Structure formats: C-alpha cells, structure tokens
Amino acid sequence: MPIPIAIHRDVEQRIPFSITSSDILTVSEAAELLKISPDTVRSMCDRGELPHRKCGNRRRFPGWLLIEWLHDSQIKKEGA
C-alpha cells in the first residue's frame, strides 16, 4: 500500500516515483529521491543526519523512513 506523500507540495514534487512502505532503497535511489549526489547521501549517513539501516557494509533506506525524514525536514524548514 503506498504511503501518502502529498504532505507538502515541496515534498510531493521531490518524489519522482511511488514508494510503498515495503520499499528498500539503495544509496543511488535515495540520492535520486532527495535530489542530491550519492556521495552526499553517504556523507549525511556518516554524520548521522540521514536515517538508514546497515546491511553488512551497505546502506539501505526504508522508503517510509525517508519520506518521514523529508516531512520532518520540511516542517523544520518552515518553522525556521
């Protein structure tokens, strides 16, 4: 079942594809979703700024977790 992603127009426009709660994204897919480079995704993970899970030495991103992070980031930006 797709997660409702029309939380804010900014967030909705960032989502280039449909994400379901069971989707697990790679670094490249997370970078595409966030519109940043894969190296930036890795750096943000290393600094603890981007939620992820480790699977061996690989990073994986549950789709629902990234959408929640985008939503929270948007709220913080609007409140600033």
Taking residues 43-58, what's their average pLDDT? 94
Higher pLDDT pick, 74 / 13: 74
Higher pLDDT pick, 45 / 1: 45
Q: CA neighbours within 13 Å on the CB side: how many for 29?
A: 15
Query: Whole-angstrom Cα distance, residue 63 to residue 14?
Result: 13
pLDDT for 67 beyond 70 = yes
pTM (global) more than 0.75 = no
Residue 5 confidence (pLDDT): 41
Which fold, 9-73?
A: Arc Repressor Mutant, subunit A (1.10.10)
Residue spans of the domains in the chain: they are 9-73
Query: Whole-angstrom Cα distance, residue 55 to residue 77?
Result: 31
Residue 80 confidence (pLDDT): 59
